[in-house]
Structure 1
């Protein structure tokens, strides 16, 4: 009997899964395999929220495979060693997997290929599983990647995407290969209390609901903090319980400004992937350095801790930081506001903020997280590197009634708008009764510090 192994990584689904389809076409039986790679934990990527969400994804994937006569084999250890063990146990001829674009993923793939080839086995890597348009597909004439989103998007929109496939009807798995028991729900400590459930079934339910109730207005509501009208699909895209190719096809068939705006956001994911693939050092070093002398834990410890805890004295910033801890997620507009506040108003090293986000975000994607932080810090691809988002004016613009702030900062729940965005303007006794901190820095002082540090006088 001819057997293939399908190595699941950030593609935990059955719909539109080219590696699984190729493996089924090539063999009599397949081994659906997921390896809890100890190198991922050693690198700090396995934060509690993502581990908890992953457990849900694996349980759902196993259940879907069992509905089709199969099962998921889960192993723990070094990924290359475990894949090679499974290949030997199954007497498999080949392994199929989706491509990865980070330096970590590329190095791991090379190790796996070398190990399999030395054993006389083959590795097949399939494109466009975790992105719609793989890195390297689009390049300008003078560089190996696009450094500005708008021209990238013009080219991206013209790419003919592969068709999106459906799920297989049957997935026969050989009996002789065994794996670990899946963990019980809620086994991860330290996860956010309101963390959403993981898994392809939940992802597809969420897409169906959003297509009915939110997509058509996405272009006008996606920045409304209180409305919470974004798709909330980012975690599912990160873990691959949804196919970005399928989403683009579905949105284009739907048409309209809302669908077009969603497609543009999907293109941003691909844009960041192609930047990081070309410049992997941008995960930890300035993409375009401004030679900043950032404040650090040593020089700005209390300010940083106030930001982490949501007690900066700026209500919209604090609301967002508290949402992050409670849900493991933050509204995209709020991500921009909080990043601008830390990097520019407090002039703190963007890497400190990026690390905090990666710890809590269930959708904590290295390319999106690091490059969005660099964009706001002015060290990335932003063509206006010195822009500063004012948390007061932004709060009034994107939370005009103060509902988002009151939801997450209960100390201010009795204040009307616009006072909820400027509680420091209340008389002293009223302000003291709130139990809410005064601002950690006056906005003019923060702006002046940033401009002088960047060599620009007001």
Structure 2
């Protein structure tokens, strides 16, 4: 019987896993995960994601053991470790999921060359991490869509493959050496409210939310205090949930809420096809505005106030404190905080993107970097100079101030609208919250600075 390696990367699940299914049909399987030293060396191994990853790996191993198998863990260079395992087990082929970053592409190319030099084959499977793979739809004049609306129109016309069930049994070759499973217990610097990772937790959340949350998603997904989003993003980032399965199940549920949710999954694929076509967009402007951002040194106090939730704008501070506590932030909060840093404070979007990646458990290069560029006006936004007013946004999406009071306890005694504009209080009312700072900038001053910088005044 032949032997096949399944290289798990950002697809840490057993349900709807085409590489595992393909390998399992014809061979004994080596389920392998390599703790990639390249990821660590690039500074991408943030504590929150390492903890969630540890949960995912332990859960994946448990799922394999229930099916008669186990997960093999190695550390080092992915190409070297895969080839080493292939040699140890005389494996004929390796199956893995396609990914979109420049790093992932280079890793795949290196692995293919190394395996072919040894007479082995690499099979890369699409639609494992994306519902619709990059390049599946593209305009006649380009290799990718630069605007979401026409992309979404074509995306909806793609016939998705059917999800594949988890295998009932996994035949794993005996005698393969493996490192111990990681554990989040030994990690420091974790967000106090960090969620639990793993396919079991992800599928439980999926089942519950599709039953009770999706119907109201269209009306409530921007409600900051309502917390009515799916919170699937960490599970999509680590692949404990399948985007293909989510689209199928949402469409089966039907209704405006399901349609709005599927649109968000399409946004995820949209960003992935942009990054696949333009990998430099992870660090460089997709569409430059020739910004001369304030230097990190000159803006140091403003940046620190933003990072610590001390800008004096309650909804911005609430979102930043949620990020620090949970390692996650409501999507509306992400838009608000990004607009505030990049446009109101006129600080380089890369400063904010870097901070988000230090804390976000769902810190994904495609979504994080390209959403930051969208808000900075250097990305795919068709209105690159829009500026979100944090007071207007707060009154619209947190009208009674519940979200602010939850995350900014200094303001817990204030009712709306004062909770959104505490700097307007006078006398004893202002003295009662004297531990909450005044705004770091006047909104009109920030807007004027941005317009001058962009040549809009």
State TM-score, norm by structure 2.
0.99
Separation in structure 1 between the aligned mates of residue 252 and residue 211 of structure 2, nearest angstrom: 14
Where in structure 1 are there 5+ consecutive unaligned residues?
Answer: none
State the shift of 1:338 in Å: 0.2
Q: Which residue of 1 aligns with 2:292?
A: 293
Which deviations, in whole Å up to 9, do the C-alpha atoms of 1:62-105 show, x marking residues without a partner?
00000000000010011011101111111111100010111000
Q: Which residue of 2 aligns with 1:347?
A: 346
Matched, 1:382 2:381: yes
Q: Which residue of 2 aligns with 1:113?
A: 112
Which deviations, in whole Å up to 9, do the C-alpha atoms of 1:197-216 show, x marking residues without a partner?
00000000000110121100
- Moved beyond 6 Å, runs of 4+: none
State the shift of 1:433 in Å: 2.7
**Helix, strand or coil at the partner of 1:452:** helix
Matched, 1:323 2:305: no
Separation in structure 1 between the aligned mates of residue 421 and residue 295 of structure 2, nearest angstrom: 27
State the shift of 1:188 in Å: 1.3
Q: Which residue of 2 aligns with 1:25?
A: 25
Q: Which residue of 2 aligns with 1:450?
A: 450
Paired residues for 1:1-80 under 5 Å: 1-27=1-27, 29-80=28-79
Q: Which residue of 1 aligns with 2:399?
A: 400
Separation in structure 1 between the aligned mates of residue 351 and residue 261 of structure 2, nearest angstrom: 29
Distance 1:173 1:212, change over 3 A: same
Separation in structure 2 between the aligned mates of residue 363 and residue 50 of structure 1, nearest angstrom: 7
Checking the alignment, whether the CA contact within 8 Å between 1:5 and 1:32 is kept in structure 2 is yes
State the shift of 1:184 in Å: 3.0
Q: Which residue of 2 aligns with 1:262?
A: 261
Separation in structure 1 between the aligned mates of residue 171 and residue 221 of structure 2, nearest angstrom: 43
Which deviations, in whole Å up to 9, do the C-alpha atoms of 1:433-456 show, x marking residues without a partner?
311000000000000000010001
Separation in structure 2 between the aligned mates of residue 428 and residue 126 of structure 1, nearest angstrom: 65
Where in structure 2 are there 5+ consecutive unaligned residues?
Answer: none
**Helix, strand or coil at the partner of 1:298:** coil
Q: Which residue of 2 aligns with 1:232?
A: 231
Q: Which residue of 2 aligns with 1:440?
A: 440
Checking the alignment, whether the CA contact within 8 Å between 1:5 and 1:30 is kept in structure 2 is yes
State the shift of 1:26 in Å: 2.1
Separation in structure 1 between the aligned mates of residue 183 and residue 379 of structure 2, nearest angstrom: 41
Aligned length: 456
**Helix, strand or coil at the partner of 2:32:** strand
Q: Which residue of 1 aligns with 2:163?
A: 164
Checking the alignment, whether the CA contact within 8 Å between 2:11 and 2:238 is kept in structure 1 is yes
Paired residues for 1:364-379 under 5 Å: 364-379=363-378
Q: Which residue of 2 aligns with 1:122?
A: 121
Separation in structure 1 between the aligned mates of residue 211 and residue 137 of structure 2, nearest angstrom: 33
Matched, 1:191 2:190: yes
Separation in structure 1 between the aligned mates of residue 321 and residue 6 of structure 2, nearest angstrom: 39
Q: Which residue of 2 aligns with 1:311?
A: 310
Separation in structure 1 between the aligned mates of residue 295 and residue 46 of structure 2, nearest angstrom: 23
Checking the alignment, whether the CA contact within 8 Å between 2:86 and 2:92 is kept in structure 1 is yes
Paired residues for 1:413-432 under 5 Å: 413-432=412-431
Checking the alignment, whether the CA contact within 8 Å between 1:98 and 1:130 is kept in structure 2 is yes
Separation in structure 1 between the aligned mates of residue 35 and residue 295 of structure 2, nearest angstrom: 33
Which deviations, in whole Å up to 9, do the C-alpha atoms of 1:101-156 show, x marking residues without a partner?
11000000000011111111111111110000000111101111100000000000
Which deviations, in whole Å up to 9, do the C-alpha atoms of 1:303-330 show, x marking residues without a partner?
0000000000000000000000000000
Checking the alignment, whether the CA contact within 8 Å between 2:51 and 2:183 is kept in structure 1 is no
Checking the alignment, whether the CA contact within 8 Å between 1:89 and 1:176 is kept in structure 2 is no
Separation in structure 2 between the aligned mates of residue 175 and residue 44 of structure 1, nearest angstrom: 35
**Helix, strand or coil at the partner of 1:382:** coil
Separation in structure 2 between the aligned mates of residue 197 and residue 128 of structure 1, nearest angstrom: 25
Matched, 1:360 2:359: yes
Paired residues for 1:208-219 under 5 Å: 208-219=207-218
Matched, 1:155 2:154: yes
**Helix, strand or coil at the partner of 1:297:** coil
State the shift of 1:431 in Å: 1.7
After the TM superposition, which of the residue ranges 239-248 and 207-216 deviates more from structure 2? 207-216
Separation in structure 1 between the aligned mates of residue 377 and residue 115 of structure 2, nearest angstrom: 43
State TM-score, norm by structure 1.
0.99
State the shift of 1:430 in Å: 2.6
Which deviations, in whole Å up to 9, do the C-alpha atoms of 1:204-247 show, x marking residues without a partner?
00001101211000000000000000000000000000000000
